[in-house]
């Protein structure tokens, strides 16, 4: 069983993944945020028709702190009728981002970046400039904090001190008391009365 404390926060020991030899079949590149947009446009022109995925990783103690990870899929050009897909290829683009740094949105290149960027914003707090509708997607609108950050506590004392959403602080809910007053004593009393009658 996992302990009730927070798992140890690692991250300082991790090299940027692109410095190690790749173990999957994707071509791996690392770009600076300033050159990201340019590079993605070039890749799209080059035939990367699908933005497979857009996610992020928090390397807490590293600089830059976050990696935003783009996975692109290159397909053969679409011909009329049934397109044969010859030699598809994946490309992974990693972009290091500091905590307050913004990234350019790629919503205009791939429409699917819409929800993916909203999710990264929601769970990591990374802002994408130029996104038409950047708001929370998975968490409730009034949620505070970004849960997939490594310093966002899951459980343990730090979690108790973390900001709670408004709906969790309702005064009529008292921990440990069943809502309808059906306590064990009341039930035992009821059973006892039923037996006596």
List interacting residues with other proteins (CB under 8 A).
2, 6-8, 10-11, 13-15, 17, 20, 23-26, 49-53, 55-58, 69, 71, 73, 75, 78, 81-85, 88, 90, 92, 110-112, 114-116, 136-140, 147-148, 152, 154-155
Whichever of 101 and 143 has its CB closer to other proteins, that residue is 143
Contact (Cβ atoms closer than 8 angstroms) between residue 64 and residue 100? no
- In the complex, least distance from residue 134 CB atom to other proteins, rounded to whole angstroms: 14
Whichever of 36 and 120 has its CB closer to other proteins, that residue is 120
- In the complex, least distance from residue 167 CB atom to other proteins, rounded to whole angstroms: 14
Residue 171 token pair: 């005064």
- In the complex, least distance from residue 67 CB atom to other proteins, rounded to whole angstroms: 9
* CA 196 to each of CA 131, 132, 185, 186, 189: distance values in angstroms, whole numbers, following the listed order: 71, 70, 16, 15, 11
Q: How far apart are CA 162 and CA 170, in angstroms?
A: 16
- In the complex, least distance from residue 88 CB atom to other proteins, rounded to whole angstroms: 5
CA 185 to chain centre: 46
- Find, among 110, 142, 148, the residue nearest to 126 by Cα: 148
Whichever of 24 and 185 has its CB closer to other proteins, that residue is 24
Whichever of 138 and 190 has its CB closer to other proteins, that residue is 138
Q: How many CB atoms lie within 10 A of CB 112?
A: 15
């Amino acid at each position: 069983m996992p302990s009730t404390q927070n798992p140890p926060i690692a991250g300082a020991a991790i090299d940027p993944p692109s410095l190690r030899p790749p173990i999957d079949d994707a071509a791996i590149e690392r770009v600076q945020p300033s050159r990201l947009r340019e590079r993605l446009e070039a890749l799209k022109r080059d035939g990367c028709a699908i933005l497979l995925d857009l996610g992020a990783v928090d390397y807490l103690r590293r600089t830059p702190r976050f990696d935003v990870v783009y996975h692109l899929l290159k397909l053969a050009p679409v011909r009329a009728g049934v397109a044969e897909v010859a030699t598809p290829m994946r490309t992974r683009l990693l972009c290091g981002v500091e905590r307050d740094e913004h990234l350019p949105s790629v919503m205009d290149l791939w429409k699917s970046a819409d929800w993916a960027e909203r999710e990264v914003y929601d769970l990591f707090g990374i802002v994408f400039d130029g996104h038409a509708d950047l708001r929370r997607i998975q968490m409730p609108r009034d949620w505070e904090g970004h849960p997939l950050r490594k310093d966002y506590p899951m459980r343990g004392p730090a979690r108790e001190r973390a900001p709670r959403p408004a709906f969790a602080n309702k005064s009529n809910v008292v921990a440990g008391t069943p809502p309808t007053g059906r306590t064990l004593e009341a039930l035992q009393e009821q059973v006892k009365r039923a037996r006596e009658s």
